[in-house]
Amino acid sequence: QPWALKIIPIRRIIRHNDTEQVRSEISMMIMLKGCRHVMRPVCAFVDAAEEAVVLVSEWAAGGTLRDHIERRIRHHSRFAEDQVSGIAGHLLSALLFMHSHGLVHRDVKPENVLVTADGVCKLADFGMVAFVTRVDEVFKNGPGSPIFAPPEYAFREDCDSRFDIWSLGVVLFEVAALR
């Protein structure tokens, strides 16, 4: 069975002072492994020879949602309504699971949605996840992708699970409108 590898050079971790963020991402992957619509972690380890931290997760043969959007744009072919609602359902399932654990993803975007061979959408990349109960954590590193962040972020108002729902709306608009 193929696996996906996220290789993070130790030099980069040290240079950007990301030790805690990498630890947090590994913890989040483990905490969220019970949801069908979240990428399932396999393991994490330090590869001394490559001088890198390696995160291993299930493989998504369909690529990213961004790949699917760009393919549709190139072929002038919109997603069918049931496809858009299916994507929405999968991502809402993942976000509901995260939010029920008091977590906000903060980086919901097409590049962080992976698609399996059978068309199941799975949320990935948990490096920006924060506990909703810690508002300062939501603002600490900024959103993963400002274009997908809600207006409240710009005004540093309370951001909770609505942060992800706004971002999901932007993603679904892009899927439906191909813009």
Give me the catalytic one of 18, 67, 82, 107. 107
pLDDT, position 113: 98
Percent of the chain with pLDDT over 90: 57
The lowest-confidence range among 29-38, 100-109, 120-129, 156-165 is 156-165
Query: pLDDT tens digit string along 34-64?
Result: 899 999 889 999 999 989 999 999 999 999 9
pLDDT confidence tier of residue 31, bands split at 50, 70 and 90: confident
Q: What mean pLDDT value characterizes the chain?
A: 87
pLDDT confidence tier of residue 97, bands split at 50, 70 and 90: very high
pTM of the model: 0.83
Of 31, 52, 28, 57, the closest CA to residue 122 belongs to 57
85: left (phi over 0), alpha (psi -120 to 50) or beta: alpha
162: left (phi over 0), alpha (psi -120 to 50) or beta: alpha
CA distance 54 to 178: 34
Q: Scanning the structure block, which residue is given the tokens 């969220």?
A: 32
Terminal CA-CA length for the chain: 35
Q: For residue 26, is pLDDT > 90?
A: no
Cβ atoms within 10 Å, residue 170: 17
Answer yes or no: 18 catalytic.
no
